[in-house]
Amino acid sequence: MTQTLVSSHKKEVIIGFDQPFCVIGERINPTGRKKLAAEMAAGDYSTVEADTLAQVEAGANMLDVNAGIPLADEPAILAETIKLVQSLVDVPLSIDSSIVEALERGLEVYQGKALVNSVTGEEERLEVVLPLIKKYGAAVVAISNDETGISEDPDVRFEVAKKIVHRAADFGIPACDVVVDPLVMPIGALGQAGVAAFRLIRRLREELGVNTTCGASNISFGLPNRHALNAHFLAMAASNGMTSAIMNPLHQEEMTGIMAANVLNGVDTNCARWLRQFRAPPAAGSQEEARHERRRRRV
Amino acid sequence: MTQTLVSSHKKEVIIGFDQPFCVIGERINPTGRKKLAAEMAAGDYSTVEADTLAQVEAGANMLDVNAGIPLADEPAILAETIKLVQSLVDVPLSIDSSIVEALERGLEVYQGKALVNSVTGEEERLEVVLPLIKKYGAAVVAISNDETGISEDPDVRFEVAKKIVHRAADFGIPACDVVVDPLVMPIGALGQAGVAAFRLIRRLREELGVNTTCGASNISFGLPNRHALNAHFLAMAASNGMTSAIMNPLHQEEMTGIMAANVLNGVDTNCARWLRQFRAPPAAGSQEEARHERRRRRV
């Protein structure tokens, strides 16, 4: 049973087939968030702080941290952000950058075993990112595209993932430390994007034995009622073996989908999380209410 | 690719792996509905009429018709109900009774190719129900329990389903006319009920090549926020190959789950059904709005 262990200085999280789905909060990312980008570039981390606390409060099991701001000193800002986030919360982090120097600076300051987001199947990337993963004993998100781009054929994407897993092994990184992103396409443009993703996720689990993750909201791009589509996509993907997603934990519908999938996949023991979230407060007139009422009157 | 064709006098519906999920409306059933039972026993079909129209309006592709009222003349009432429902709507029906005489009377009056609900793996049932299915050229729901009851072991339930499919073949009924109900247990009592159902549904599809159905709401029995659990169960089951369910189409959350599953399984062509349901009305100031406004002013 494949298990990817990631950790902070205080907490371990296991991504695995027999574990509750791992929600990786996506909010700490200035891409497309002009105000946040300007703040981070100016050394103002107030929004980062708020996003950190809100995501963990909403149930994120890990947080992705990205500092990709044009013309800014990304390695320095990423390191600073990681230090700040680790001072605020216990959850392990995913260190997210397309710049190798930023990944390394992030890994240098990170306390624990990080998830690095990401490496692709491009030779040039494999050669520089995998040694870093090995050096810092991290885990890595492997994106199933290569020099030829993103194939629409899920079998080609499977082969790219397989190549990355094999190359990682050459560097001494076990398959359990490679979390594959099968690349989810917008279903509004590509009607078979869902079944392609589900089939690929199942093959990655059954044939390669790896954990999987994805940017879930891409599936619903351009369509109405996106939250409902995302929520059911997440549950269906989890049913086919997907074990984590990079997503917005502040979206309640998606989180309900994840919680339902955990119940239905038998990894929410005694439905405890579900009951905690949704059990109605005791009705008026119930014993508990009555006790409370007696206590209140005594005051 | 397995296809179960059912029909009314006016309409064909195909239950199949490459088809939109088939929603079989469950409302015309006096079990647990005292008022409806009393009405039907007294020859008052006003609630049946309302339930018929409302379910088709809400998107049911078929309707289940049950007339199981204690001490009443079930065969006569079932036949009467079927005739009434067929006079009101075009969708094919599922004729639902545990009394063989009622099934036969229902089949006699039914116009089209019905789905008969149901036969079990019990010898006595197989011997009386299967000849009826053959005689009337119907399709049948096969419930995967037998004389020993309902096994908690999905492999045992698979073997029961296999036996029914083989026995049906002995009577000249093809596997495509057997729709297996894998029997979904309440997950609040049996934590592995979801994964057991998904695995069984997948085996039924891949190894037996049959369509499947279930009473979906059973999964959430005793738990809070049942609609969300049901909706995600339906989507996950559809992702594992379930092709129909007997359910309440008036529950919006469940229907949204089905519609999302159709989009994500690539069987809602161009997301047409999803767009029709959820696309926002044209914004104020849009061309259509403007035209409407001009027309209004002329009045």
pLDDT score recorded for residue A279: 93
Residue B296 has pLDDT above 60, yes or no: no
CB neighbour list of residue B119: distance below 8 Å, 6 or more residues apart: B125, B126, B129, B130, B133, B140, B141, B142, B143, B164
Does residue A299 form part of some domain?
no
- Chain B hits for A280, Cβ within 8 Å: 224
More confident residue, B143 or A1: B143
pLDDT score recorded for residue B292: 53
Does residue B284 form part of some domain?
no
Nearest CA in chain A to B256: A228
Does residue A294 form part of some domain?
no
Q: How does pLDDT run across B224-277, given as a tens digit for each residue?
A: 999 999 999 999 999 999 999 999 999 999 999 999 999 999 999 999 999 999
Residue A299 CB coordination number (10 Å): 4
What DSSP string describes B137-179? Answer: T-EEEEES-BTTB--S-HHHHHHHHHHHHHHHHHTT--GGGEE
CA–CA separation, B246 vs B94, rounded Å? 10
Q: Is A269 on the interface with B (CB under 8 A)?
A: yes
Successive 10-residue mean pLDDT values, chain A, 299 residues: 95 97 98 96 98 98 97 97 98 98 98 98 97 98 94 94 98 98 95 96 97 96 98 98 98 98 98 94 56 49
CA–CA separation, A5 vs A9, rounded Å? 13
List Cα–Cα distances, A18 to A3, A101, A213, B195, B201, in angstroms. Answer: 8, 35, 15, 12, 20
The phi, psi pair for A112, rounded to 5°, reads 120, -165
Question: Domain containing B197 — which CATH number?
Answer: 3.20.20.20
pLDDT score recorded for residue A241: 97
- Which residue range is the domain that position A180 belongs to? 3-267
* Among the ranges given (A230-234, B139-143, B281-285), the one the predictor scored with the smallest mean pLDDT: B281-285
Residue B285 has pLDDT above 60, yes or no: no
Q: Residue B299 — pLDDT band, cuts 50, 70, 90?
A: very low
Q: Name the residue type at position A112.
A: G
pLDDT score recorded for residue B298: 47
Q: Name the residue type at position B230.
A: N
Does residue B297 form part of some domain?
no
- Chain A hits for B261, Cβ within 8 Å: 232, 236
pLDDT score recorded for residue A298: 47
Does residue B291 form part of some domain?
no
Share the mean pLDDT of chain A: 94
Using CB atoms and an 8 Å cut-off, which of residues 76-135 of chain A contact chain B? none
Q: How does pLDDT run across B177-223, given as a tens digit for each residue?
A: 999 999 999 999 999 999 999 999 999 999 999 999 999 999 999 99
Partnered with residue A3 across adjacent β-strands are A16
pLDDT score recorded for residue A292: 53
pLDDT score recorded for residue A224: 97
Does residue B273 form part of some domain?
no
CA–CA separation, B30 vs B289, rounded Å? 46
Residue B175 has pLDDT above 90, yes or no: yes
CB pairs under 8 A between A and B: 121
Q: Is A222 on the interface with B (CB under 8 A)?
A: no
Q: Residue B1 — pLDDT band, cuts 50, 70, 90?
A: confident
Q: By percentage, how much of chain B surpasses pLDDT 70?
A: 94
Residue B293 has pLDDT above 70, yes or no: no
- Chain B hits for A188, Cβ within 8 Å: 271
Using CB atoms and an 8 Å cut-off, which of residues 21-80 of chain A contact chain B? none
Q: Is B154 on the interface with A (CB under 8 A)?
A: no
Does residue A123 form part of some domain?
yes
CA–CA separation, B219 vs B189, rounded Å? 10
pLDDT score recorded for residue A1: 80
Q: Per the structure, how many domains does chain A have?
A: 1
Q: Is B258 on the interface with A (CB under 8 A)?
A: no
Partnered with residue B24 across adjacent β-strands are B62, B246
Does residue A226 form part of some domain?
yes
Q: Name the DSSP class of B280.
A: P
